[in-house]
Structure 1
Amino acid sequence: MSITNAVANAAAAAAAAGAGKKAAQVQLQAELNNDDDWNKFIQRDGLLVVDVYTEWCGPCIGMVGNLKKIKVEIGGDNLHLAIAKADTIECLKRFRNRSEPTWMFLAGGQLINVIFGANAPRLARTIVEELKNEELVKKGERERPKRAPHELTPPELEVALAQEKLNQQRREKEAAAAKTARTARREARAKRLEMHFNDVCPALMMPHAQKNLRKVSDALEPYGVLIADKCPLVLGKHGAKILAMEDPEFENPEVAAQLIERPSLALLLKKLPDREGNIIEIARRALFGEGLDNEEEQPKKIPSEELKLNGVPGLFVPADRHQRASVLDLLFPKLVGGLVEPPVSPDPPHIAMIFGAWQRRAVLTIASTPKLAPRILRYGFFADANIEEPKLICKTIEKYEERVDKDYCETIVVMIAVGVAEPALVDPKDIPPEGPPEELMALGPLHVSEDTVLGAEECERFFPPGYSEPEHKPKPKTKKKKKKRHETKEDTMDESISEATNDNIEEANGDASVDGEGEGEGEGEGEGELEGDGEDEGEEDDKHIDKATSPPPIAT
């Protein structure tokens, strides 16, 4: 009985020691998941060392052993450790979306230092130094720096300024590329419309100016220009924005309100055949007085000035061929559409994101959410992550799943918008944020385009022109029906002869089958064996490993 009690007591003691050890481990690092946890923790006395992490990356596990050793041997009760999730703590929002280990040093509610990276010797040295500094502060021999936890340390500020400089250079580069692309699109459209509308020019009279149509007609007549067509038109919000992009005078909110709510008058000006010169320059000269150098040539009243009301312009006439093409598409879409194909909507600024094909289901699930679906322009599966010479496998998930042999090196590439082609035409709240989506970044892509300029170049290799056009499947060949012919006496005779011949052949075959029954059975057995072989092959096909449904094996 005594032996049993001794064993029981020993077991209880061991269990208690284990529980105490586990409790000590739990207390080694506090877990901070929200603002309340954070605010309570930073009020503790002593030096606080916080491992700041993001949910998709996780805390730095490799440093836990070193931190335990430092706390036990040096820190004691003067050193407190914690891990803090930046995603849910407002004070740490500047550290979100980072994969680099981040260590914050705090004391007395103030931020003392910040270290980036998993450099164990440097982290240990810094902890020792800051513990000594904290002892000097308690003795009154040193002052703590006055810096709130959300403020940047000098090294952070230096890095932030350098990063902002790089971001500014990137934005300027992207803006210049977008401007060049827009000019190229406008030039191409202008050339296309000039083939049919070189001698016409659109114009627009505001609602308050329509009663003065006669003045406009009289001003144009001496210059050999007539009003070939006119029609009332309510431009709406989108049309008002297009007009504001072409002429700053129409950016006035009062002008926009008139264009949206009341019908304006669209005019189509046409130059007479015997009149030489550019129709745009002639119309601007007649209605705006442009290009008239001599005072004698200046009319007493310029129509465009007469039609203004309280600073609101009453007339719009394109100033160049690019504006003419844009306003023709806006005011006379049916006329233009009868002769020229409609303008192609440009792709918004975009980048390429490359993932392992084994991530395809996660990528496409995230990409199909209402938030991201409008931003996904194209996607496809490729043989590897080669950006310079990509090799297309297939364009859809359905086609990829049909493939039997998949490989670890295969990738899925997503072309995703990070802006809009014409920001002035879109509500600011509908403009997607800059940079790749956080949801996709959390999956750990193999490659992300550096900016939209490089992104456009990379996506052009992955998704060349015509990529999105549907594939044409070959039509199945239809069997031609044999024409019925009229039977003649000769045909009837031929058919009777052929029937008699077939009867004789069948009889001969019947005799042969009777004599060779063994052979026929042998042939049947052979066919059965072939079918069995086919089933075995099918079972082997089922054993193919889908290498693209799981991550590549870790090299050892």
Structure 2
Amino acid sequence: MAKRKIDLFIEIKNEKEFKNILRTNSEALICAEVYSQFVGACTALDRLFTIIKYDWSNGKIILLKVPSDEVDSLRRFRDQSEPVYLFIFKQKVTNIFRGVDSIKFAEVAKREVNIYKKEIEGYESERPTYDLSEPTPDEIVWFNKLSMEKELEVAAQHDRRVARQAARKRHRAELMVPHLERINFVLFWPHCKHAHPELYEQWDLNGIIMIGREELNLTKEKAEDILYEGDAPINEASMQMLVSGTALAICFRLLDTDKHFVSLVRKILYEDIQQYDDDSSAKSFGTAFDHYKSYSQTKEKILLKRHEEKVTRKAEEKEKKSRRLSEMKRLALQALQEAIEAKRAKREQRKLKLLKAGDLTALQNLKEQPSDDELSFAQPQQPQESSSDTDSPSESNEEEYFPPPGLVIPGFYAPPNDIAKANGLAVLFPKIVVEYVTPEPEFLPPHVLVMLEAWKRHKALKVLSKYENAVIHVGIFEATTPYDGVHIAYSVMEFDADNTSQKTENVKIAIMLSIENDVPLLELMDLNPVHVSRDPVAGEEECSAMFPVDYADMKIDLKDFQLNK
């Protein structure tokens, strides 16, 4: 029986051996198991293969184990953990089976052996065959299904990551809220920056002072980050207006500590009825928000307004040029008169000099000479207007986008709750926020989960004490996998103090470890951990299962490292 097992399969090492076997055994039925080297060949069906070879085909079927990594014609099977079995006759693929279902595979193999026996006896089969490099219809179905499953998994993984990041972002803001009670901000749209000085009196009346001012050009992503958890009308028109120019952000501080700053600012801007002077000298009443808000206009109105502004601007430029031309003419004429006067004065000085010298003849000749008071005068000319001065009001960039009309465009935004306020302050005024609290990082570095048996906990801490900055979280869990962990302690010191928890089975120390520097992970590998995430993507999923966003908010993990030192 041992000899039978040795002779059962032919191990193929490279493509040359594979082609040689197919060429020299073209009249034999070949069953080739195709596998990827990272998982190795499958042994689950070896017992069945013994029956197929020696009982069903009388030893005539040739069984191969072929690594897809070494054969180009089988490259489509690379990087797959599931074994694939090809039935080959006359160097053509007659059938293919995927998986390790022994019952179904036995049915396929028996059918292939029976058809092979008939073909040897002269029976001509009309079933389709395929080249080794050509995928069969079943393969195409499998690959399409596999591709769809991968796409769904990637999409689900992305959705989970977005949800985790949203939870982390909110938790980060919640941690900042108690420290930022006395400061707030207001964001003014580029077209409405004039509202800030016009509202200044309201701040003074309520004990609110300005402590920060930022003018900034926003991108859509940053604008959405500032407006996170807010109630600003985020539509196409308002967002386009916000990113079209320089916005103004003002940071305020409240002097009265007994008032809720968010509610006070919202009341001033969104609830209090005030009197405002309109452009038409009429007076209107309403909230500040209603007074400064506007609505998106139609494309025709926008183009007409642009044309009117352009005509007005050109008229102003023309008037400015005309005034400049008049001034140039005046200065030129003045210069001419000064030149004539200088020439006359020079002539009179010469006459006086001749008279003093007694040269009456020369003096008489000078008097008889005509006085050449006429000088050339270059008249300044008005610059010729360009042909672009006659643009029509309907001209616009064909690729320019115009948002739908009637959408609300606010003049400003004040956060409606403490979460929105804390997040917006951290984005707009990070230097001011740091004076009150150091925010948690919104995005974590690439990280993995490392799990070791609890009895190795002190060795692990000894290693990690040199890399405190690489450790994001540490905890003691009762777990066999990252997804079934039951939390026991936040630190080794806490675990050591609890005698009852040390008797629990399957106790592990779990470490959420940054891999920006791979040295800490490499040193932990020397301790032979029971689990390490295969990559940062898997690490993020596994760490989120063991360490929620609010893990150890009231604990200090680094006490363990300080104790070790």
TM-score, with structure 2 as normaliser: 0.47
Q: Which has the higher contact order (CA 8 A, sep 6+)?
A: 2
Larger Rg belongs to:
2
